[in-house]
Chain A
Amino acid sequence: GAVVSQHPSRVICKSGTSVKIECRSLDFQATTMFWYRQFPKQSLMLMATSNEGSKATYEQGVEKDKFLINHASLTLSTLTVTSAHPEDSSFYICSAVTGGNTIYFGEGSWLTVV
Chain B
Amino acid sequence: GENVEQHPSTLSVQEGDSAVIKCTYSDSASNYFPWYKQELGKRPQLIIDIRSNVGEKKDQRIAVTLNKTAKHFSLHITETQPEDSAVYFCAASYGFGNEKLTFGTGTRLTIIP
* Distance between Cα atoms of A60 and B44 in the complex (Å): 23
Q: Give the contact stretch, choosing among B13-21, B56-64, B69-77, B97-105.
A: B97-105
**Majority DSSP secondary structure for residues of B touching A:** loop
Q: Which interface residue of A36, A43, A91 has the most chain B CB atoms within 10 A?
A: A43
Task: Across the interface, name the chain B residue whose C-beta is closest to A40.
Answer: B40
- Known contacts A108-B42, A108-B43; is-contact A43 B89 (Cβ 8 Å): yes
* Distance between Cα atoms of A106 and B44 in the complex (Å): 9
Q: How many A-B pairs fall under 8 Å by CB?
A: 47
B residues whose Cβ falls under 8 Å from a Cβ of A: 1, 34, 41-44, 46, 89, 95-97, 99-106
Of the A-B pairs whose beta carbons lie under 8 Å apart in the complex, a sample of 23, sorted by A's number, is A32-B99, A34-B99, A34-B101, A42-B106, A43-B89, A44-B89, A44-B101, A45-B103, A46-B100, A46-B101, A91-B41, A93-B43, A93-B44, A95-B99, A101-B96, A101-B99, A103-B34, A103-B46, A103-B99, A103-B101, A105-B43, A108-B41, A110-B41
- Apart from A43-B104, A93-B43, what 4 extra A-B contacts exist at CB < 8 Å? A34-B101, A44-B101, A46-B100, A103-B99
